[in-house]
Chains A and B, each alone.
Chain A
Amino acid sequence: MTSLTPRDKDTIKAFMAKASVYAEEIGKDALCRMIAVYPQTKTYFSHWKDVSPTSGHVKKHGITIMNAVADAVSKLDDLKGGLLSLSELHAFTLRVDPANFKILSHNILVVMAILFPEEFTPEVHVSMDKFLAAVALSLAEKYR
């Protein structure tokens, strides 16, 4: 389900070349939307004083996440290997239910649709959805 074809990889690289300039904006907005629209995701951030969608913590963390996603483009040919230490972090320390990766992915796609309404065609949509699913799968690699 998540094998990326050569065409997917070209589409992902081309689109992300444009989008990664806005990685911080995308990250902030996607995480804000995830928390606002799917409040159950707040449970992972109970250690923050302010878990409201527009808090400084949320913005900063959104940037961290999206920078990692943008970086994953350079590891497209071996996501499992490239994301190994992040997978260990998510598996043993953070223990985020992998269902939430899908939720965040959806919100990243919504933000991309808003920022790039012309470029985010159905072809780009499917390749980006597959890319985020592949990243999520690699993150879940060490879970069990």
Chain B
Amino acid sequence: MVKFTEQERDVVRAVWEKVDVDEIGPEALIRVLITYPWTERYFGKFGDLFSISAVSTNAKLAEHGKVVLRSLGRAVEDMDNIKKTYAELSRLHCEKIHVDPDNFRLLADCITITIACKLKSTFNSNVQATWQKFLTAVVEAMTSQYN
């Protein structure tokens, strides 16, 4: 189990406080689909995602971005039980949605970059290191039920 110090928890919470889920969620997911276009395969029912402008204006995708980022908030609230928090979602992504778990890492990187755009220089290397430790724990938890 990943252990976080009090200081690390404070850092993660401080970053999260500055995150507007309804703004960052859609932006991060749009970045994923534009930067890594093969991820479109998982959104076949969302309609037109075949151009940069289509991705950027797709309402279903934006809504899903909010859902995904709200879910990250659950990990922030209970940093001692990240694996348990995502066990069911992990099973879902493996057994029903069939998502290659490497995509969780890609999403995590895009969330980081989107947050970096927002927080700018307050997202310094120490903050990034702690944030990365947190996201790595989330990615591991999302991969944990794969078989």
Q: Inside 8 A of B85's CB, which chain A residues have their CB?
A: none
Q: Inside 8 A of A122's CB, which chain B residues have their CB?
A: 30-31, 34-35, 52, 55-56
Q: Inside 8 A of B109's CB, which chain A residues have their CB?
A: 106
A109 near B129 (CB under 8 angstroms)? no
A36 near B113 (CB under 8 angstroms)? no
The smallest C-beta distance from A107 to any residue of chain B, in angstroms, reads 8
Q: Inside 8 A of B113's CB, which chain A residues have their CB?
A: 109-110, 113, 120, 125
B116 near A110 (CB under 8 angstroms)? yes
Please, which residue of chain B has its CB at the minimum distance from the CB of A122?
Answer: B34
A32 to B52 alpha-carbon distance, docked (Å): 33
Report if A36-B125 is in contact (Cβ < 8 Å); known contacts: A125-B31, A129-B35.
yes
Report if A37-B129 is in contact (Cβ < 8 Å); known contacts: A114-B121, A122-B52.
yes
Classify the secondary structure of A's interface with B: helix
Interface residues of B in 79-122 (CB under 8 A from A): 109, 112-114, 116-121
B31 near A114 (CB under 8 angstroms)? no
Interface size class of A (residues with CB under 8 A): 10 to 19
Please, which residue of chain A has its CB at the minimum distance from the CB of B114?
Answer: A113
Interface size class of B (residues with CB under 8 A): 20 to 34
Is B123 in contact with chain A by the CB < 8 A criterion?
yes
A117 near B34 (CB under 8 angstroms)? no
Is B126 in contact with chain A by the CB < 8 A criterion?
yes
Q: Inside 8 A of B55's CB, which chain A residues have their CB?
A: 122
Is A17 in contact with chain B by the CB < 8 A criterion?
no
A117 to B119 alpha-carbon distance, docked (Å): 9
Q: Inside 8 A of A125's CB, which chain B residues have their CB?
A: 31, 34-35, 113
What are 11 A-B interface contacts by the 8 Å CB criterion?
A33-B125, A33-B128, A110-B112, A110-B128, A114-B116, A117-B120, A120-B113, A120-B117, A123-B52, A126-B34, A129-B35
What 7 new A-B contacts, CB under 8 Å, besides A37-B132, A125-B34? A33-B125, A36-B125, A122-B34, A122-B35, A122-B56, A123-B52, A129-B35
